[in-house]
């Protein structure tokens, strides 16, 4: 095992706790404690938002998908970044001016409906849980890759650590901690990639897609994970150890879905046009509906700075997303055995040692990316768990103002159990795919609510509830079938596996028609609300 890994992980935890403790000295009020002071400059705030947003799916998942499927999955990082553009164009400034702290709060402020608030609560919990699953998956995978231990123990250990941390200490996500996590994640990918590219140059720039498919550069021993056929002919059994001499082409394993041919380089190979557009719709519109994203906007002092902060987030997130693609591409050359085992999500963790050798440099860079991965799932899952637990605390346990810290702890444990159980169940799904499903539900429930709520006076509580139930409910059902149900094939598989292309328009349509039919229920003070959402604060009306 790499001797630098444990010290670097301990260092990350110590620095995180240290900055948190230092930041706590400046926290005065409850809102300071939960979301940091509101007098933070847009650049710090933006780094914090990016730090919380860049999850295991971004840090590990994208490179894994690129290694497996090629150029088509680049829509994931593009969509994850473009989601902030949609947020900027349609939501950022008015949402900050509404003063809403969570999505259920926005329902209350805009439509004054307790029933709608409760419905929003259900969706926040569902999306939060669904988004937590891939974080724990990433943790389990990292644990297996680094220590060789079992996946379940890794996911369980990190799940328990995060739950205990949130339950005992509140969020402690002082802006500076999250901002530090962003820069750590960026460094952890950017520094090794320089050495990786130099190594690639030194090796005489080996082709990414040789005519015969990926080849093993050195003698490699692969342990077979499942009973399968090699290249469609040779049967192998789980646990078999196969040794391939240097220069052998990587065989296609029947139990692992991966593109080995030169078609990996070309678009349109992975999934249909429908699936691609569905993914684009889900990621572009889903970001604004994620529970942990919205909370952070409250830290901006006014609407104009919310806009500027979002722009900086877009730039920081875009900068980060330049890197995972390179790991996926170089993984084709230096870590092709992952294409046989199917553990492609581990490519970021394994690539430094695979490319640079087991020497000190490779080990130190390997430790650096592992530390970055730890930062990725710690920051995102703490932020998510806090926002879900907060919603459970205020809207489910009905603790309200009289609620004790004990109730918050109960809420945290309740919010952690389901995703923890699910993460053990869906161990074999790609991390980024599960995240994509969470985006689809967010895009077909909260995106229409926010966009219509902010820009259309005619929205009513009945229309909004009907739209969320129709679009969000349908996509929720599709997700449950995908994760828990039997495998589908053909068109049903497309429609259920990537539901956003039909569920988002459905949600908008039902919301508009429902509101038009119940137009008498438009709140009487909608004019004053629109003034508050859209007029610049400098007018002080």
Partner 1 sequence: MASEEAGPGGSVESVVGTAAGGSSRPRTKIVLGEVAARRAPGDRARVDLAEQTPVGEALVKGLMRAQLALALRLSLVVLTGLGALPLLFAVAPPVGAAKVLGVSLPWLLLGVASFPFLVGVGWAYVRWAEHNERDFTAVIRRPEQ
315 is a contact residue toward partner 1 (CB under 8 A): yes
Q: What is the C-alpha to C-alpha distance for residues 30 and 27, in angstroms, rounded to an integer? A: 8
CB of 279 to partner 1, least distance (A): 10
- Identify whether the C-beta of residue 106 lies closer than 8 Å to the C-beta of residue 399: no
Among 7, 114, 267, 400, indicate the residue that binds partner 1 (CB under 8 A). Answer: 267
Q: How far is the CB of 325 from partner 1 (least distance, A)?
A: 4
Q: Determine if 242 is a binding residue for partner 1 (CB under 8 A).
A: no
Q: Does 536 bind partner 1 (CB under 8 A)?
A: yes
Nearest distance, CB of residue 506 and partner 1, angstroms:
20
Instruction: Give the number of residues in contact with partner 1, rule: CB under 8 A.
Output: 46
For the CB of residue 74, give the shortest distance to partner 1 in the complex, in Å.
Answer: 4
CA distance linking residue 164 with residue 166, whole number of Å: 6
Dist CA 299 CA 287 (whole Å): 18
Q: Confirm or reject binding of residue 403 to partner 1 (CB under 8 A).
A: no
Whole-angstrom distance, CA of residue 487 vs CA of residue 277: 22
Quote the least distance from Cβ 459 to partner 1, whole Å.
14
Minimum Å gap between C-beta 491 and partner 1 is 18
530 binds partner 1 (CB under 8 A): yes
**Least distance (Å) from partner 1 to the CB of residue 97?**
11
For residue 105, the number of C-alpha atoms closer than 13 Å in the C-beta half-sphere is 16
Question: Which of 273, 359, 401, 520 forms a contact with partner 1 (CB under 8 A)?
Answer: 273
Closest by Cα among 339, 352, 243 to 4: 352
Residues 6+ apart with CB under 8 A from 320: 50, 54, 58, 182, 185, 186, 189
Q: Minimum CB separation from partner 1 for residue 246, in Å?
A: 26
Does 358 contact partner 1 by CB under 8 A?
Answer: no
Distance of CA 90 to CAs 150, 295, 447, Å?
A: 44, 17, 10
Q: How many CB atoms lie within 10 A of CB 93?
A: 24
* Tokens 């909608």 sit on residue: 526
Closest to partner 1 by CB, 4 vs 90, is 90
Q: Which of 15, 71, 477, 512 binds partner 1 (CB under 8 A)?
A: 71
Q: Which residue, 6 or 315, is less far from partner 1 as judged by CB? A: 315
Run of H or E residues at 415: helix 405-425
Window contacting partner 1 (CB under 8 A); options: 43-51, 102-110, 311-319, 352-360: 311-319
**190 lies in the binding site for partner 1 (CB under 8 A):** no
Cα-based torsion angle of the residue sequence 86, 88, 90, 94 in order, rounded to the nearest 10 degrees: 150
Rounded to 10 degrees, the C-alpha dihedral 514/516/520/521 comes to 40
Q: CA 497, 499, 501: angle at the middle one, nearest 5?
A: 130
The answer to whether 85 contacts partner 1 (rule: CB under 8 A) is: yes
Q: CA nearest 380: which of 125, 9, 51, 39?
A: 51
Nearest approach, Cβ of residue 142 and partner 1 (Å): 24
Please say which residue, 210 or 485, places its beta carbon nearer to partner 1.
210
Does the footprint of partner 1 cover residue 325 (CB under 8 A)? yes
C-alpha span between 80 and 280 (Å, rounded): 9
**Secondary structure in 3-state letters for 30-99:** HHHHHHCCCCCCHHHHHHHHHHHHCCHHHHHHHHHHHHHHCHHHHHHHHHHHHHHHHHHHHCHHHHHHHC
- Candidate list 93, 103, 196, 339; residue touching partner 1; CB under 8 A: 93
Find the binding residues for partner 1 in span 406-465 (CB under 8 A).
455
Residue in 10, 21, 89, 246 binding partner 1, rule: CB under 8 A: 89
Contact window for partner 1 (CB under 8 A) among 5-13, 312-320, 370-378, 383-391: 312-320
Site for partner 1, rule CB under 8 A: 71, 74-75, 77-78, 81-82, 84-86, 88-90, 93, 265-268, 273, 276-277, 280, 304, 307-308, 310-311, 314-315, 318-319, 321-322, 325, 455, 527-528, 530-531, 534-536, 538-541
């Amino acid at each position: 095992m790499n001797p630098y890994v444990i010290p670097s992980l301990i260092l990350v935890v110590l620095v995180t706790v240290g900055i948190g403790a230092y930041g706590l000295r400046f926290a005065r009020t409850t809102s300071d404690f939960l979301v940091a002071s509101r007098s933070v400059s847009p650049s710090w705030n933006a780094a914090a938002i990016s730090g919380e947003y860049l999850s295991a799916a971004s840090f590990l998942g994208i490179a894994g998908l690129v290694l497996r499927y090629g150029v088509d999955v680049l829509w994931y990082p593009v969509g994850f970044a473009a989601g902030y553009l949609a947020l900027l164009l349609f939501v950022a400034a008015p949402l900050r001016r509404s003063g809403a702290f969570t999505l259920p709060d926005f329902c209350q402020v805009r439509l004054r409906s307790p029933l709608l608030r409760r419905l929003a609560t259900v969706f926040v919990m569902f999306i939060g849980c669904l988004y937590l699953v891939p974080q724990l998956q990433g943790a389990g995978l990292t644990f297996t890759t680094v220590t060789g231990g079992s996946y379940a123990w890794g996911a369980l250990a990190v799940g328990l650590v995060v739950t205990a941390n949130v339950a005992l200490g509140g969020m402690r996500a002082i802006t500076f901690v999250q901002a530090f996590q962003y820069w750590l994640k960026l460094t952890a990918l950017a520094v090794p990639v320089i050495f990786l590219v130099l190594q690639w140059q030194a090796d005489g720039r080996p082709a990414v897609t040789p005519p015969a498919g990926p080849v093993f550069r050195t003698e490699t021993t692969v342990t077979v994970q499942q009973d399968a056929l090699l290249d469609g002919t040779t049967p192998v059994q789980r646990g078999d150890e196969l040794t391939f001499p240097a220069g052998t082409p990587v065989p296609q394993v029947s139990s692992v879905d991966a593109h080995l041919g030169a078609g990996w380089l070309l678009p349109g190979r992975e999934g249909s046009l429908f699936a691609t557009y569905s993914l684009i719709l889900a990621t572009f519109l889903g970001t604004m509906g994620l529970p942990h994203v919205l909370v952070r906007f409250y830290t901006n002092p006014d609407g104009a700075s919310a806009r500027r902060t979002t722009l900086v987030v877009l730039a920081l997130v875009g900068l980060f997303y330049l890197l995972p693609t390179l790991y996926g591409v170089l993984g084709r050359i230096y870590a092709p055995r992952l294409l046989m085992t199917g553990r492609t999500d581990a490519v970021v963790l394994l690539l430094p040692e695979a490319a640079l050798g087991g020497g000190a440099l490779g080990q130190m860079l390997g430790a650096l990316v592992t530390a970055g991965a730890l930062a990725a799932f710690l920051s995102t899952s703490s932020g998510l768990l806090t926002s879900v637990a907060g919603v459970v605390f205020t809207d489910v346990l009905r603790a309200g103002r009289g609620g004790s810290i004990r109730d918050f702890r109960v809420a945290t444990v309740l919010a952690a159990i389901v995703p923890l159980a699910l993460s053990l169940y869906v161990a074999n799904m790609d991390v980024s795919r599960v995240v994509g499903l969470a985006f689809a539900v967010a895009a077909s429930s909260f995106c229409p609510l926010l966009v219509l709520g902010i820009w259309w006076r005619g929205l009513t509580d009945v229309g909004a509830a009907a739209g969320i139930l129709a679009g969000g409910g349908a996509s929720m059902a599709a997700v449950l079938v995908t994760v828990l149900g039997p495998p589908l094939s053909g068109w049903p598989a497309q429609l259920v596996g990537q539901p956003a292309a039909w569920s988002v328009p459905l949600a908008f349509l039902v919301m508009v028609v429902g509101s038009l039919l119940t137009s008498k229920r438009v709140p009487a003070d909608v004019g004053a609300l629109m003034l508050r959402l859209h007029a610049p604060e400098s007018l002080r009306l």
